[in-house]
Chain A
Amino acid sequence: MNKASTREKTLWTILAVFYACIVLFPVIWLVTMVFKPADVMFARPTVFFFTPTLANFDYIIAQGFLGNMLTSLLLGLASTLMVILIGTPAAYAFARFEMKAKDDLFLFILATRMAPPVCLVIPFYLIYSNLGLLDTFFGLTLAYMTFNLSFYVWVLRSFCRDLPVELEEAAALEGWSKLQIFWKIIFPLLRNGIVATSVLCFIFAWNEFLFAFMLGGKSVQTLPVAIPKLITAQGVRWGEVAVVAVIALAPVLAVVVLLQRHIVRGLTMGAVKG
């Protein structure tokens, strides 16, 4: 592509910043709500300037939302790790090898995502209830594999297309075992793709509500599940909602900022025909 002139670049930059402001306005407003006192929260006319308060944090800390955050973190990490370990070889296999009924097998993976979760949650609940898996960390990790594993394999597969077969062949000729080839050659090349896809998986797990709610309980309570507790029949604790929303956003945002180079590089691998 042609290099853009500096004038053109400035134009695009202004446009991009403008778009960012529009898109992010609600989020910025949310952040201001964190410090807004309750009686001016939704005053008419809108109160733009107010004396900030930290009162909204009290309830959050008292109710142990930080514990929920920890649970969300552990659950997200555990399920993402499992997905990486199980899914990476599969994605690689689909990209690299011929298999009988390959298309059907691949579509099966996508098919597991097709039914609306709302419909599946009660069958899940009934099965878990009988197996005693309700309100267990293991049970919820397993349930998250339902949507994350298929997503991971489906997306990562297309990133595996650029793998250099010659390198593998050369290594095989030199007597490397399949495992060595996988670990020493393939895995490093896939690293960025893995990072990119697994960050997305982590985000899905972090934000997931329905399964965490129905299959979790007092011992395993994630952050999204704790949010509706702020919507009481006596009104919504909006300030606290804002606090939790920002707390929920912060770690994910940090991860994306830190890993963004890997993510971009990962998404570019094999994403196009070359």
Chain B
Amino acid sequence: MRILSGFHGVAMATTMFSVLLGASALSAEEFSYAEAAKPYAGTTITVLDEVTPLQETLATIVPEFSKETGITVQYELLSHLDVINKGQADMLSRGGAYDAVMLHGAQMGPMLDAEAIRPIDDFIADPKLSNAGLDTDDLIQRPFRTLAFFKDKQYGFINWNYNMVYWARADLLGNEIEKAAFKEKYGYDLGPAQTLKQLRDISEFFTRKRGEKLMGEPLAEDFYGVVLEGIKGANSLWLYIGNILRNFGGDIIDADGKPSFNTPEVVDSLAYWAELWKFSPPGTAEYSIIDVPTVMSNGIAAQTMAFSDFVLGVDKQGASPLHGSFVYGAPPVKEDVDPSRYSADGEPSMIVITQGSKNAEATFLFLQWLTEKKQQSALLKAGNGGVPIRESSWAELKSMDGINSSLMDAMKVSLSRVESKPLMPNYYQVIDALAEIIQQVGLGTISPQDGAAQGQAALERLCRDNCLLK
């Protein structure tokens, strides 16, 4: 057999050499979970998480960890409110029924205040447990950094990157009759809203009464330009703060935690909010996280802003008659505001180790394992999509079949703007007070000016001059 000659031979040799070099380099560094877990093999850890299709997909992958390490994981899923109430009850009582509990970003403030989370810095510093090749710089930074760190400690790796996207009816926005009428009325082309002004204009444009025409056909019932979640609560409040107030350049507190609700930005954004409510169905004040997808899939509203994983549940075959006729984008921003301040609402969430856990090391290994590129890739494949926590996942998602690329692009932009909720010890009292105010403003029972003043008064009463966790 003739050995490959000349150029080819050298090329091959070089390739083989570098592969061998690379391979040996890899094996010198590669972290082994089996090795790290040896002292803990045979233990069982209990993990509490929220039940959504994302976690249900993860549940199919979790047994792999046990195979690799010999540590059994009892992965328990409960509904949104239940995972919060039960999880917090266990964490606060240090009962240890759970080794790890999923916390939404909003819960971090009170849980840190109660010192109920076990930091993981000592584990990260321990070479026997920590994988140096984890590549946490690959995690989508803004949500991760604002969620997992407080003062000089780290409390977990990010697990779930819930984020909001703008969601609209592509068929309406692309209809020729509507496009012509829109251009005539507003002077620019109709398309998915990228600015708040466009969101407002499109909402106004498509709000029509029964009998008026939509896409050339008379309407059998009233139609609305936008549907908003308006039930008194944190979701509605953050829909306003994260997507509107912050994009107006304002916020509820300043960088030092001082209440800053009585500002022109707040008043203007509240006026905007109240105006949007006029283009939303009459039931807005009762619409919760459950109603918005239902109303969108009923086809009586043209646009909304909703959590992207909801969309995954509605925009699929068999779930809604309007499946396939939606377009997505990042939540609209305001034109004249500095792009570095662009904001999108989201709720980065992570599984943390409880203070009552007796198997903290084993739990840490599990949480680190979940964050690995390998597991994240498996998770996205098993779920045929999903919401990534790593930047490197975007390319992978794009290459998958049947992926809604409009949604993926929207999530990517949105996640680059998402920050976790501010860390406040009386986070829930603050939310309760402000939620009531913005609902009143939306309903029109108080003016934006009064809303701003009352909100400021409530904040000052609750936190004096610093709302943030010290």
Q: Which residues of A contact B (CB under 8 A)?
A: 37-40, 42-45, 122, 125-126, 129, 134-135, 213-214, 217-218, 228-236
Contacts and interface: CB of A to CB of B under 8 A. Distances in A.
Contacts of A231: 79-80, 290
A39 B300 contact: no
B321 interface: yes
Contacts of A233: 50, 52, 80, 162, 289, 307, 309-310
A44 B310 contact: no
Contacts of B312: 234
Contacts of B74: 218
A41 B50 CA distance: 25
A236 to B, nearest CB: 5
B82 interface: yes
B318 A37 contact: yes
Given A42-B298, A125-B93, A232 B79 contact: yes
Given A39-B319, A42-B294, A214-B86, A232 B80 contact: yes
A38 B320 CA distance: 7
Given A42-B294, A229-B51, A234 B300 contact: no
B135 interface: no
B86 A38 contact: no
A45 B314 CA distance: 19
Nearest to B323: A39
B293 A44 contact: no
B290 A236 contact: yes
B78 interface: yes
A110 B178 CA distance: 67
B221 A44 contact: yes
B309 A214 contact: no
Given A44-B298, A235-B294, 6 more contacts: A39-B297, A42-B294, A44-B300, A126-B93, A234-B312, A235-B293
B95 A134 contact: yes
A232 B53 contact: yes
B299 interface: yes
Contacts of B52: 232-234
A38 B322 CA distance: 12
B445 to A, nearest CB: 28
B22 to A, nearest CB: 42
Q: Is the interface of B mostly helix, strand, loop or mixed?
A: mixed
Contact of B313 (A40, A213, A217, A235): A235
Interface string B404-441: 00000000000000000000000000000000000000
B80 A214 contact: no
B313 A234 contact: yes
Contact of A228 (B79, B294, B299, B321): B79
Contact of B81 (A37, A38, A228, A235): A228
B114 interface: no
Contacts of B290: 231, 235-236
11 contacts: A43-B321, A44-B298, A125-B89, A218-B74, A228-B78, A228-B79, A229-B82, A232-B51, A232-B79, A233-B289, A234-B53
Nearest to B53: A234
A233 B164 CA distance: 13
B197 to A, nearest CB: 30
B219 to A, nearest CB: 12
B221 A122 contact: no
A218 B53 CA distance: 19
A140 B313 CA distance: 36
Contacts of A235: 290, 293-294, 310, 313-314
Nearest to A135: B97
Contacts of A39: 297, 318-321, 323
A233 B163 CA distance: 12
A39 B294 CA distance: 10
A37 B51 CA distance: 22
Nearest to A227: B79
B467 to A, nearest CB: 26
A229 B89 contact: no
Nearest to A213: B82
A121 to B, nearest CB: 9
Interface string B31-70: 0000000000000001000111100000000000000000
Interface in B294-348: 294, 297-300, 307, 309-310, 312-314, 318-321, 323
Contacts of B86: 213-214
B78 A229 contact: yes
B85 interface: yes
Nearest to B313: A234
B428 to A, nearest CB: 15
Interface-centre pick from A39, A231, A232 (highest chain B CB count, 10 A) = A232
A235 B82 CA distance: 15
A42 B82 CA distance: 26
A190 to B, nearest CB: 41
Contacts of A228: 78-79, 81-82
A217 B97 CA distance: 9
B76 interface: yes
Nearest to A55: B318
B124 interface: no
A67 to B, nearest CB: 14
A178 to B, nearest CB: 46
A48 to B, nearest CB: 16
B318 A38 contact: yes
Given A44-B299, A129-B95, A236-B290, A229 B77 contact: yes
Contacts of B77: 229
B208 to A, nearest CB: 15
Contacts of A40: 321
B162 to A, nearest CB: 8
Contacts of B46: 218
Contacts of A213: 82, 85-86
The 9 A-B pairs with the shortest beta carbon distances in the complex, nearest first, are A234-B313, A228-B79, A129-B95, A232-B52, A44-B298, A235-B313, A129-B93, A234-B52, A229-B79
A104 to B, nearest CB: 35
